[in-house]
Amino acid sequence: MKLSKKIMAFVGAGLLLAGSFGFASELPLVIYDDAVSEKVGDGNWDVQLWIPNYDKDKSEGSCSIMTGLIGRYGAFAFYFGEGQLSEIKGKKDNVYLCFDVKFTKKNQQLQVRFVDTDDGTKKNIPWRLAYDLKASDYKVDEWCKVEIPLASMFCWGGWSNITNTWTDIGSNEFDFTRVEKLEFAAEEAPVSSKFLIDNIRIIEK
């Protein structure tokens, strides 16, 4: 797992300040506009392309992210502090994950998902709340606005990196009081080409 300096500092702060690190973010929460927000950390693994794109090709502002070349199960992710998304619990029906994306190939596909914390116990399984993002559902080679109602995302289980076990889920047990990260993961297949993403945020309507 390749972590940026920012996320390393973030993890360190989380360890050092455990107990005082839990803060809730007001909505809307900007995760990325022209840079990754100071309110979140970021990291990626098995992602060969992840660069700021300052040329004209962005959906707004001065910069977007050019990414891609992601191996199967590779992902880029944005990390939250303990309890940072707890405000969403109870009003999920009015909350949306939004971003702008420009695909370059019709076969590009990612799973976008919130992932809960993992402590290796059955009490805190890292449930995934997911949406399958497929270029085939959008136009290619132009910026598209994606707006995902959190109520439409599906909870399909959890993989623990501590116990190396998968747990199926029968009902929606995803817990917004302990979200660790938002991942863009090559779950079904590698993404062997580039694409652009911008303006990632969580909003309330």
Residue ranges binding Ca ion (CB under 5 A): 34, 58, 60-61, 198
Please state the closest distance from residue 58 (CB atom) to Ca ion, in A.
5
Residues 67, 43: Cα–Cα separation, whole Å: 13
In terms of CB distance, is 36 or 179 closer to Ca ion? 36
In terms of CB distance, is 57 or 137 closer to Ca ion? 57
128 forms beta bridges with 115
131 forms beta bridges with 112
- Concatenating the DSSP letter of every residue in 37-71 gives -TTSEEEEEEEEEEEEE-SS--SSTT-EEEEEEEE
Residues 166, 171: Cα–Cα separation, whole Å: 15
In terms of CB distance, is 29 or 130 closer to Ca ion? 29
Please state the closest distance from residue 32 (CB atom) to Ca ion, in A.
8
Q: Are strands 95-102 and 2-3 parallel, antiparallel or unpaired?
A: unpaired
Please state the closest distance from residue 59 (CB atom) to Ca ion, in A.
6
Look at residue 89 and give its three-state secondary structure: coil
In terms of CB distance, is 28 or 61 closer to Ca ion? 61
Residues 116, 127: Cα–Cα separation, whole Å: 5
Please state the closest distance from residue 81 (CB atom) to Ca ion, in A.
23
Question: Closest residue to Ca ion, Cβ-based?
Answer: 61
In terms of CB distance, is 33 or 180 closer to Ca ion? 33
Please state the closest distance from residue 22 (CB atom) to Ca ion, in A.
29
